[in-house]
Chain A
């Protein structure tokens, strides 16, 4: 059988470039994952060379884990949460005052709330608090006086009657005017410019956020190098729809699927980051609490099987590529942010390999000179619930501009009671900022005034979309990659026919 296209890419080397004249032609194409091979319309397979080509995976040139601020050692829960707000304000105040001066002039009066004089135009920096009528309150729920039925979870808790209040170290004041009440969420530090009215409220004329943090130097690779972002594998869900897709993903990354061209491209994936929700929500069943003990005595938690499956999948990946595993909302680790890494005893097969890295959520690392920062999505989904913003990408961008990964923690999102510093404040501008378990894939390249360049990526939940993201570290481009099997009915609804 004749071969299609040029001879197979031979021998080791990143991308298999040497020795293949066609590859140089292809390299001029826009850097997409699969532009290397010419279109091949034949089913046949080029005859393999005398020994089948094996590509060497691109070595990890530089990797540093920068998630130390998110690792908790000794934990004490005997503190109140007021300290974290105080730390947040103290740390972000200088940044905001600088921004205020840039925006409203050097001569702008920066006042604390206790120094306000009625009618004087000034700038105040403080923490935002949104008084929401629909916000679930545990005190109300358990209060017997009110006789309230616990409120069912709503997709959004915003209400037209919500109010914004600005708090600083000593006082608080209601805000009105040019502020988008619905859009903002509790816990944001920002600066308002306006004046205090006679009725005691502050009339806002303008406001500003911390904006993008300072840029990091660019040390990216000069050749194509990819990082695969996946989230929401959702193992243990009981439905096998995405299992084949998961296996296809593993096979593509480990270089088993695809023609030699695709395999050579897959060899350029230098890292895989699993951004949370490796286990499905179904593994969280709490039947053991509701059922009688004699019924549940010998039953195994649903997560045990799922973790075994995860271990096997991770083993397959770890034998071929470095993997960073972040925990998510449904994974067996602690609930409050920052979530600590999964324990290696749960993954005995995969832990044997040094390519497996169990990391925190949020996760920050320098991969091949590119700073990655991301979460498993809890921060974005929580803001989604308490803000009018609907788009995950928009929320992601907003958190970056607000200078804080998760402002709603600890108000509505569980958080560890830090007291000396708030590790969620953004001090350096990452090159890639992602969140996992988004409803769909979105990406955007954001450029800042000081030369910052950030790729924002919302990684979709794999269990529902069978889509993962490939980030090219050379130019911060991002491409979704989706997998599918076939079912009894073929769904060709929304696919456009290519030209």
Chain B
């Protein structure tokens, strides 16, 4: 058996290593139990020393035992060089274990390199770091993903429930009423729920959103009774989160929840507006958003408009693409909605999120109204994903969606340099988009710092 070990050991060591082998390195590399690895090292040393060619081998040992220190027994575990081995052993009252720790060619001045070797090999084997150890723990099983999410919610709920239970038995730490506690404790859950829901899918069904909003209104009004100590933005944020929580309770359907999550503008206004406006909300908001957007646009230069359009395009395309997967009817409804005389508004065949998204991406967003706040908040939520998507979408949609979005393209092509976009050829299609992109870059693109723009924009603009 020793012979087998030696053979495996020799094969196992790559010739290119600086020849420092610790028992742990050997154990992971050969896939053997740590005790076997230690034995193999020992056998190797013995063999080499017998052959008298092991003169250049330096060995370190691990010594463990009991030591009387200050009157009490102290257990000591130490890595020592071979020359200090006997000295250490003589210090210990009882020796529990001595075994080879590592073998190296060069004499080590300190144990730092041993740590490095061990660290490296453990790092590459983190997923099964206890596989070859001598102790097996039955309780150490990775959590399943269901348990993980449960733990996450329970952590948030756990911070909430102790205060609730304390209110019953032990005096509660905080003096707030349970409703407030519930709401604010729901906030993290709502936020996490939003991100989780966003990651899951991107619903674009406004009809469903409308229904969902109507459902949420009663819950929202309860929420809105919270004293508005914080600014409007915060209220909107937490209100939305609280609404999400209520949604979870009342409507456990995930798509709906996601829709609420993704829907940027409408739910935010809920805490601020009265429940009466809920029913008219979608239309109203869309209109108000459009109107606001239009006002904003009139103030801004064409550059910004084109920026918006450009941003709207991928949003549109993206939304359209998604809608194809879901309900066809909605997409057609969306497209028919915008009135023709408003070229920019044509963009908003897409649901309100799009104009809101545009406005949030625009540099000068100093809206004071709740609508403005909505947009601002939306930017926080949507921008990430939107931007990420856009990097990919931009490219693909240039290529792929040139046909389907021709009509909308034509509409806001009016505001563009007329010659450019007329030819629905892919490369030409790219140019206006690029131009828009570059124009946007020329204009204050502080908000889009992470969007790559082509340097050609400088030349084309002139």
Contact = CB atoms under 8 A, between A and B. Distances in A.
Interface of A: 1, 12, 32-37, 39-45, 47-48, 51-57, 59-60, 68-69, 71-76, 79, 240, 243-244, 247-248, 251-252, 254-263, 266-267, 312, 315-316, 318-322, 340, 344, 349, 351-355, 416, 418-421, 467, 470, 479-488, 490, 492, 494-499
Given A316-B129, A420-B171, A257 B77 contact: yes
A30 to B, nearest CB: 8
Given A1-B43, A320-B130, A416 B95 contact: no
Contacts of A479: 72-75
Interface of B: 1-2, 23-24, 27, 32-36, 38-39, 42-43, 46, 60-62, 64-69, 72-81, 84-85, 87, 89-100, 108-112, 114-115, 118-119, 122-123, 126, 129-130, 132-143, 147-148, 151-152, 155, 158-166, 170-176, 180-181, 184-185
A383 B158 CA distance: 32
A320 B155 contact: no
Contacts of A48: 33, 35-36, 39
Residue with the highest number of chain B CB atoms closer than 10 Å, among A42, A74, A316, A487? A74
Q: Which 4 A-B pairs have the closest CB atoms?
A: A420-B171, A498-B93, A255-B135, A485-B111
Contacts of B64: 34, 252, 257-259, 262
B259 to A, nearest CB: 26
B67 A255 contact: no
A41 B184 CA distance: 65
Contacts of A416: 173
Contacts of A257: 62, 64, 77, 97
A316 B125 CA distance: 10
Contacts of B39: 45, 47-48
A485 B174 contact: no
B89 to A, nearest CB: 7
Given A43-B42, A53-B134, A496-B68, A261 B123 contact: no
B77 A315 contact: no
Given A52-B32, A257-B62, A499-B68, 20 more contacts: A41-B89, A43-B99, A52-B34, A79-B175, A240-B112, A240-B115, A247-B118, A262-B64, A263-B35, A263-B134, A315-B129, A340-B159, A351-B143, A419-B175, A420-B175, A480-B72, A481-B75, A483-B76, A486-B81, A487-B109
A498 B71 CA distance: 11
B96 A258 contact: yes
B135 to A, nearest CB: 3
B162 A486 contact: no
B314 to A, nearest CB: 30
Nearest to A259: B97
A487 B111 contact: yes
A251 B24 contact: yes
Contacts of B42: 1, 43-45
25 contacts: A1-B43, A34-B75, A45-B39, A55-B135, A56-B136, A72-B173, A74-B174, A74-B176, A248-B77, A254-B135, A256-B23, A257-B64, A259-B96, A312-B122, A315-B126, A315-B129, A319-B137, A320-B133, A354-B142, A354-B143, A354-B147, A419-B175, A420-B171, A481-B76, A498-B93
B156 to A, nearest CB: 10
Nearest to A37: B96
Contacts of B61: 43
Nearest to B66: A34
Given A41-B95, A483-B78, A485-B79, A74 B112 contact: no
Nearest to B145: A352
A279 B243 CA distance: 39
A421 B170 CA distance: 8
Contacts of A33: 75
A227 to B, nearest CB: 15
Given A244-B112, A483-B77, A487-B110, A57 B138 contact: yes
A267 to B, nearest CB: 5
Nearest to A261: B96
Contacts of B158: 71
A74 B160 contact: yes
A444 B137 CA distance: 31
B148 A352 contact: yes
A496 B174 contact: no
A1 to B, nearest CB: 7
A44 B159 CA distance: 54
Given A43-B42, A486-B81, A247 B115 contact: yes
B99 A45 contact: yes
A60 B138 CA distance: 10
Given A44-B42, A59-B138, A248-B77, A75 B98 contact: no
A37 B163 contact: no
Contact of B95 (A39, A355, A420, A486): A39
